[in-house]
Structures are given as C-alpha cells and as structure tokens.
Amino acid sequence: MDLRQLAALTAVADHRSFSAAARALHTVQSNISTHVARLERELGATLVDRATGELTEAGEVVVGRARQIQAELTAITSDVTSTLGEVSGSVRVGVIGTTGRWLVPTLLAEVGERYPRVRLITVDATTTSLLPQLASGRLDLAVVNLPAPDPDVEVEPLFVEDHVILAPIDHPLAANDTLQLSDLAGIPLLLEPPGTGFRDHLDADAQRSGVTLVAQAEVDGMRLLASLAYQGFGAAVLPASAVVDWDSGTWKSIPLEGTTRRGVGLALPRRGRQTSAARATVDVLRDVIAREVPSLPGLSLPS
C-alpha cells in the first residue's frame, strides 16, 4: 500500500468516476485504475463498484482512513514551518451562507494580515452538507447552525440570533411591526425543511404556542430562502443574519418574538491534531466574531 494508491481512491470518491479522478490528479485514467486495482488486491476487497463509480462499504472505510492520513501529512509541513517562526499552509473553512456573507471578507483580510503564508479555502454550504465534510477530513473547521449532532464533530457556540419574517411590502404580514408565532397560523411561509436544526427548533416553538406552520415552499439554504422573499415569492422565516437590508420600499423585515434564538457555532473534527495554520485561523475567527457580532442587528454573543 502506498500514498499514490490512497490518493487515487480518494479522488475516485470525490469525483465519482475514474476519468474525473484522473483529471483532478493530472494523470491518465489507466494510472488511476492500476492504483485502485493494486490496492484492492492487497486488501482482498472490492473498493469501487465499477458499474456506478460508487465506493463499496469497504471502500468507504479505506477512504475515511486515507483522508486522515492525508491530513496528517499536510499537517507535518505546516507544523514544521511553524516551529521555524512562520505559520503557513492551506486551511479549508466551511461556512453557512448567512454567516459567510459578513464573516468571510473580514476573516480573509485578518488572516492575510496576521498570517500571510496561510491560504484559506472557503466552502459555502448548508450545515447538513458541511458536517459530513468536516467529519471526513475534507474541511478543517466549519461555522454551522446549532445543534450539530455528529459524533465525529465537536462544537462551541459563537453567537445567537433572533428570528425575523422577511416579507414583500404588499404581503399581509408586512402591515405589522412585530409578530408572534400565533400571527403565522394558517399563513403559507417559506421555510427550511424538517430535519434541519433551524426548522426543528421553530416547529418546537410553534408546537408550544399551539401553532402549526404551513409551508409554501421548503428550501435547505438560508440565502436562497431569503432570495425568494426578496424577489416577492412569499414571506420567509429567517435568522437575523440572513437580512441584507432592513429598510426597503419593496420588502419589510419584522422581528418574530417568542421563539428560541438560533445558535451558530464553530465545529471542529474530534479526531486528529489540527495544523498550526488551522489553529491560527480558529483564533482569528474567534476574534472577528467577538468584535463584529455586537454591532450586527439581531445578533449577540452567547451569555
């Protein structure tokens, strides 16, 4: 077993075919096929279903271990460089879209100023997409919606935020300056789907208030949900950070009272030691959050 075989199999897992894996590794398909076949012979198991390009159960196990090995190899270079007085290396940061909109520009600027040899690679995705990437080693850290129930991930709270209704100015709800959950009874709303942390908390609050929320549409992604409301498709229930402009002649942001505030946290993989570049990025991220959150409408640091 060698690193080229593990890299080939991981590329197949990421790109779902031998040809795409070859392009990603800047080689030819026959090399990828040879590396994977040799690894299969050595392990005595089929790792890739040739008909579908999907990993077998054994393949998933091997790729999980391979990602850990690759992360440790990357960490060696980063950590040795840091002992010589300069933090360097690449850090893959996942972030939910509503937070990334205001956090990422400042984070990029401050990491670049403090650690010019650290390169940030940001991934904008939903919490349900970010957690598996973090657990598998494809991300070094992530900013996610809480709770984040993954046994391979540990989280710390970063901030909490209020709920708001974002509605077109001609929507019936836009006549209000504040809203209670009881005001939403029977009104079609743009919502995240059940199973997401934000929706599950909202449904629990609604149940305690004796209200059943009615979905006009369900979208797993706050920025798209907000975009639909901005374009006049309907009224959306959103966290405060999803609102780009609180004052407009075409839509209205209305505080929604009586709900559990959304928590946003920093998620880190439980296994493996972080690189010095990742640890430095986490420190900068905490500093940016502590400085910026108190000035943002509807957001506050956890008590």
- How far apart are the two ends of the chain, measured CA to CA in Å? 50
pLDDT of residue 222: 87
pLDDT of residue 279: 92
- Paired tokens of 174: 């836009």
Under CATH, what is the fold of the domain 3-69? Answer: Arc Repressor Mutant, subunit A (1.10.10)
Range from 50-54, 116-120, 231-235, 270-274 carrying the lowest mean pLDDT: 270-274
Q: Is the pLDDT of residue 16 over 90?
A: no
Instruction: Identify the band that residue 70 occupies on the pLDDT scale cut at 50, 70 and 90.
Output: confident
Any idea where the domains of the chain sit in the sequence? 3-69, 86-160+263-300, 163-260
What is the distance between the alpha carbons of residues 226 and 238, in angstroms, rounded to a whole number? 7
Residues 6+ apart with CB under 8 A from 117: 81, 86, 87, 88, 89
pLDDT above 90 covers what percent of the chain?
52
Going by CATH, does the domain composed of 163-260 fall within 3.40.190.10? yes
pLDDT 10s digits, 127-180: 989 998 898 888 999 999 888 888 889 999 999 999 999 999 999 999 999 999
pLDDT of residue 290: 96
Q: Mean pLDDT in the chain?
A: 89
Closest of 75, 102, 106 to residue 91, by C-alpha: 75
pLDDT of residue 292: 95
- The yes-or-no answer to whether 86-160+263-300 and 163-260 have a common fold is yes
Q: Is the pLDDT of residue 220 over 90?
A: no
pLDDT of residue 173: 95
Mean pLDDT score, 224-239: 92
**Comparison of pLDDT for 5 and 272, the residue scoring more:** 5
Mean pLDDT score, 15-43: 89
What is the distance between the alpha carbons of residues 51 and 18, in angstroms, rounded to a whole number? 11
Mean pLDDT score, 170-193: 94
Mean pLDDT score, 107-129: 93
Q: Is the pLDDT of residue 6 over 90?
A: no
Under CATH, what is the fold of the domain 86-160+263-300? Answer: D-Maltodextrin-Binding Protein; domain 2 (3.40.190)
What is the distance between the alpha carbons of residues 284 and 286, in angstroms, rounded to a whole number? 5
pLDDT 10s digits, 246-299: 556 788 999 999 899 999 999 998 877 788 899 999 999 999 999 999 999 899
Instruction: Identify the band that residue 245 occupies on the pLDDT scale cut at 50, 70 and 90.
Output: low
pLDDT of residue 181: 94
Note whether 237 and 175 are within 8 A (CB). Answer: no
User: At how many degrees (to 10) do helices 57-83 and 3-15 cross?
Assistant: 120
Mean pLDDT score, 102-131: 94
pLDDT of residue 136: 81
pLDDT of residue 282: 97
pLDDT of residue 179: 95
pLDDT of residue 113: 95
pLDDT 10s digits, 92-105: 999 998 899 899 99
Closest of 110, 75, 114 to residue 92, by C-alpha: 75
Note whether 111 and 288 are within 8 A (CB). Answer: no
Q: How far is CA 10 from CA 3, 29, 72, 264, 269, in A?
A: 10, 14, 15, 31, 19
pLDDT of residue 140: 93
